[in-house]
Amino acid sequence: MTKFTIISLLVLSFFLSFSCTRKTQEVKGNPILEVEGKYLYADEIQHVIPPNVNDTDSTQIADSYIRKWVTDVLVYENAKRNVTNKAEIDELVESYRKSLTIHQYQQKMIDQRLPKEPSEEDLKAFYTQYSDQLMLKENIVKGLLLIVPQNAPKIAAVRSWVQSGNAKSLESIEKYSIQNAISYDYFGDKWLEFGEILKKIPLKIEDPAKFVASNRFVEASDSTHHYFLRIEAFKTSGQVEPYERARNRIAVILLNKQKADFISKFEDDVYNDAVSNETVTFFKKNKQKK
Q: pLDDT for 96-123, tens place per residue?
A: 999 999 999 999 999 999 988 999 999 9
User: Across residues 129-142, what is the average pLDDT?
Assistant: 96
pTM over 0.85: no
C-alpha span between 287 and 290 (Å, rounded): 9
CATH code: domain 136-235 is: 3.10.50
C-alpha span between 224 and 284 (Å, rounded): 88
User: Across residues 189-195, what is the average pLDDT?
Assistant: 96
The residue type at 158: V
Q: Is 219 helix (H, G, I), strand (E, B) or coil?
A: strand
Own/partner contacts of 106-114, CB < 8 Å, gap of 24 or more, are: 106/263, 106/266, 109/262, 109/266, 110/259, 110/262, 110/263, 113/262, 114/255, 114/258, 114/259, 114/262
C-alpha span between 282 and 290 (Å, rounded): 24
Band (289; pLDDT cuts 50, 70, 90): low
In the chain, where the domains are located: 3-82, 85-113, 136-235
C-alpha span between 57 and 240 (Å, rounded): 55
Q: Give the per-residue pLDDT at 2.
A: 53
